[in-house]
Amino acid sequence: MLDRSRSINSTASALVNHIRCRISHITSLSNVAFWKLLFAVCPFVCSSNVSRAVLTEKLIREEYGDDVISIIATPHIPKSVQQKNQRRAARLQSVQESIEFEKEMISSWPTVVEDDVVFQCLQDYRTGTVWIPWPICCVCGLERPSVIDVEVNAADGSPFDLYLL
């Protein structure tokens, strides 16, 4: 694996050196020789408003191909630098998520409750905690919430004797 990697790197390095030498040769040509070479490789280029550097790049791309030039033009990033960039991106993502979470928490945080509402709730609680004894059932003698209080007047003409109750 290491030998193959060295072979690829040495081949790429040789190709880059070859292309550099070719660029150096093209830039050293006179104007007449440059235009002859350009028309030989790219016969339909007729633009004289473009700089010689742009035309040289077009010539190199035609000679070696866009794929080769684009691969060589992209810098090789070592694995450690890629991992460092990934960690940096993950850290930035984490910070952005934390900021969004904080904004969400701030926006959803409850507002201050008005004093009237607080005092009414306290009054309702205090009223609810006051103990009122249940009425006592006259039959069983126990306190029951379902006992109905009935007032009986001591009327003379009652058919029942309610004295015992």
Q: What is the DSSP string of 18-40?
A: HHHHHHHHHHHS-HHHHHHHHHH
Alpha helices in the chain (DSSP H): 2-28, 31-41, 52-64, 66-73, 79-108, 115-129
Domain spans of the chain, in order of start: 11-73
Angstrom distance (rounded) from CA 134 to CA 13: 100
Distance, C-alpha 160 to centroid of its chain: 84
8 A C-beta contact, residue 38 and residue 45: yes
The structure tokens 């409850």 sit at 110
42 CB-near residues (< 8 Å, 6+ apart): 58, 59, 62
The tens place of each residue's pLDDT in the chain, 165 residues long, gives: 456 667 777 777 888 888 888 888 988 988 888 888 888 888 776 666 778 888 888 888 888 888 888 777 777 777 888 899 999 999 999 999 999 999 998 888 888 888 899 999 999 998 888 888 877 777 777 787 777 766 666 656 666 666 655
Angstrom distance (rounded) from CA 58 to CA 61: 5
Structure tokens belonging to residue 1: 């694996």
Q: What pTM was estimated for this model as a whole?
A: 0.42
